[in-house]
């Protein structure tokens, strides 16, 4: 089974801090994704990466950056955390090309609170 591991289940940070959310997958997947989940809005794509050192903006990239130095690891960075970034963050991975029928495999999520 695919295992996607997010470094923290719960995280509390202060406004203005630089925050790192880490994600590691063990199935040699090319694609990795970061989503933000808010009530009533579903999952919204922040960034995705289809290869090492490659990244593409999703729907809501403002205030975030990402890093993919190794194939198995995809990091989400909040450059200067703000209270409106309090949310649930989900990391996912999938095969590429693999076919459009490939599901994305998700981590357990990180509930991030910015005070």
Partner 1 sequence: AQKITQTQPGMFVQEKEAVTLDCTYDTSDPSYGLFWYKQPSSGEMIFLIYQGSYDQQNATEGRYSLNFQKARKSANLVISASQLGDSAMYFCAMREFDNNNDMRFGAGTRLTVKP
Interface residues with partner 1 (CB under 8 A) are 9, 31, 33, 35, 40-45, 48, 50, 56, 88, 90, 92, 96-97, 100-101, 103-109, 111
Of residues 18 and 87, the one with the C-beta less far from partner 1: 87
Of residues 84 and 101, the one with the C-beta less far from partner 1: 101
Identify whether the C-beta of residue 77 lies closer than 8 Å to the C-beta of residue 67.
yes
User: What is the dihedral angle through the alpha carbons of 44, 36, 34, 22, rounded to the nearest 10 degrees?
Assistant: 180
Q: How many residues does the chain have?
A: 115
At its nearest, how many Å lie between partner 1 and the CB of residue 4? 9
At its nearest, how many Å lie between partner 1 and the CB of residue 16? 27
Of residues 18 and 44, the one with the C-beta less far from partner 1: 44
At its nearest, how many Å lie between partner 1 and the CB of residue 33? 8
Beta strand residue intervals within 1-115, DSSP E: 4-6, 10-13, 19-25, 31-38, 42-49, 56-57, 64-70, 73-78, 87-94, 105-106, 110-114
């Amino acid at each position: 089974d695919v295992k996607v591991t997010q470094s923290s289940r719960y995280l509390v940070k202060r406004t203005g801090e630089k925050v790192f959310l880490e994600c590691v997958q063990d199935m040699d997947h090319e694609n990795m994704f970061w989503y933000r989940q808010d009530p009533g809005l579903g999952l919204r794509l922040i960034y995705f990466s289809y290869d090492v050192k490659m990244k593409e903006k999703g729907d809501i990239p403002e205030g975030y950056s990402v890093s993919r130095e190794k194939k198995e690891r995809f990091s989400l960075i909040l450059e200067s955390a703000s209270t409106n970034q309090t949310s649930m963050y989900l990391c996912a991975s999938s095969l590429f090309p693999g076919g459009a029928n490939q599901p994305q495999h998700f981590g357990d999520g990180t509930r991030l609170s910015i005070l």
